[in-house]
Amino acid sequence: MTGQVPFHMAAIAHPGRGHINAMMNFCRLLSNRGGFHISFIVTEEWRSILSSDPPPPPCVQLCTIPNCIPSERVRAADRNGFMDAVLTNMEEPFERLIIEQLETPVQAIVSDTYLPWVVEVGNRRGIPVCSLFPMAACFFRALDNYHMLPVHVPTTDSIAEFNDEPLEQYIPGLHPLRSSDLNTLHTLKQWKKILQYFPWVKKPQCVLFTSFYELESDTIDLIKQQLPCHVYPIGPCIPYLQLNAVSNPDQDYYLTWLDEQPKKSVLYISLGSFLSVSQTQLEELAYVFNEFPNFN
């Protein structure tokens, strides 16, 4: 596409490490195809955080909106307040940025599914929106059909408690998940907030899933039947192109170590960016590793 004006796309992720990583890796994949100029929009704080990451491709420009949400340093202390801020405080500065402050008109937007107001902005401004869901398609289907699940919640601040039953008996396409797999994810207030905005998921031009069709074919087929927009499973948005391009001694060491371990003997635990390990939990992990040296 040499000589042609690049296609200008704005990208914005939910302000959490797992969401931002997925969106950035998606933009890296697009950049390899050529012909794009991507305005990657984050808060000022997140731009500072990303300064320690590998730099994005030349066609991806970091653009900022003000710090209108709780800081990464304190957001876990009030998850409800953080979610409220993301859903209410970011829309106005985002719209002002893409309409008034960028040098060239935005021709399309790729936004995180957890930012439903972006679809509203796109509809108002006549800009097509693609929604990127950076989690399993089966979780999307559970959210979209949440009203079909039996749930017991004692109070609005309690974690939603589901019976330990196969989800597929309520929502087809979710085998082998069980309803208890949804426990501890959100309080009732958080579920209600998510579900309040989830109908907007059906209004973008397409929904992108960071999953393989072969991995969740039944679920994705059912989502395609349920959504009025296009649905595309695009595969995992991980930096595998970067990993293949540069030899890293630490990376080589870990891969060699993993290859040497017995099959199914390694347990990987990720707590996400909202949770932190307590001193008691650290001590428990240390006990396990000391008492069971063959447990890797």
Tokens of 211: 């999953």
Is 237 in the same domain as 254? no
263 and 207 in one domain?
no
Burial of 4 per CB tally in 10 Å (0-12, 13-18, 19+): exposed
How many independent structural domains does the chain possess? Answer: 2
Closest CA to 226 of 166, 137, 149: 137
Q: Kindly state whether residue 191 falls inside one of the protein's structural domains.
A: yes
Q: Identify the pLDDT of residue 187.
A: 64
Give yes or no: residues 70 and 104 share one domain. yes
Q: Is residue 114 a part of any domain in this protein?
A: yes
216 in any annotated domain: yes
Q: What is the pLDDT of residue 100?
A: 96
Residuewise pLDDT in 10s, the chain (296 residues): 456 789 999 999 999 999 999 999 999 999 988 999 999 999 999 999 999 888 999 999 999 999 999 998 888 788 888 989 999 999 999 999 999 999 999 999 999 999 999 999 999 999 999 999 999 999 899 888 877 876 544 444 544 555 677 888 888 988 778 777 766 556 667 777 777 777 888 899 999 999 999 999 999 999 999 999 999 999 989 876 555 555 566 667 888 888 998 888 887 777 666 666 778 877 887 787 776 655 54
Q: Are residues 232 and 260 in the same domain?
A: no
Sequence-distant (6+) residues with CB within 8 A of 38 are 8, 9, 10, 11, 27, 30, 31, 59, 60, 61
**What would the two tokens of residue 202 be?**
């059906």
Domain shared by 64 and 182, yes or no = yes
Query: Which one of 222, 242, 262 terminates a domain?
Result: 242
The answer to whether 187 and 159 are in contact (CB under 8 A) is yes
**pLDDT for 125:** 97
Q: Residue 87 is part of which domain span? A: 7-242
Residue 189 sits in a domain whose CATH number is 3.40.50.2000
Task: Report the DSSP beta bridge partners of residue 129.
Answer: 109
* Residue 135 sits in the same domain as residue 193: yes
Q: Which of 36, 40, 34, 38 is nearest to 20 (CA)?
A: 40
Q: Which residues, listed in sequence order, are joined to residue 10 by a DSSP beta bridge?
A: 39, 109
On whether residue 1 sits in a domain, the answer given is no
Residue for token digits 């997140």?
46
2 occurs within a structural domain: no
- The residues facing 11 across adjacent strands are 40, 110
Domain assignment present for 229:
yes
Q: Which residue shows structure tokens 């869901």?
A: 133
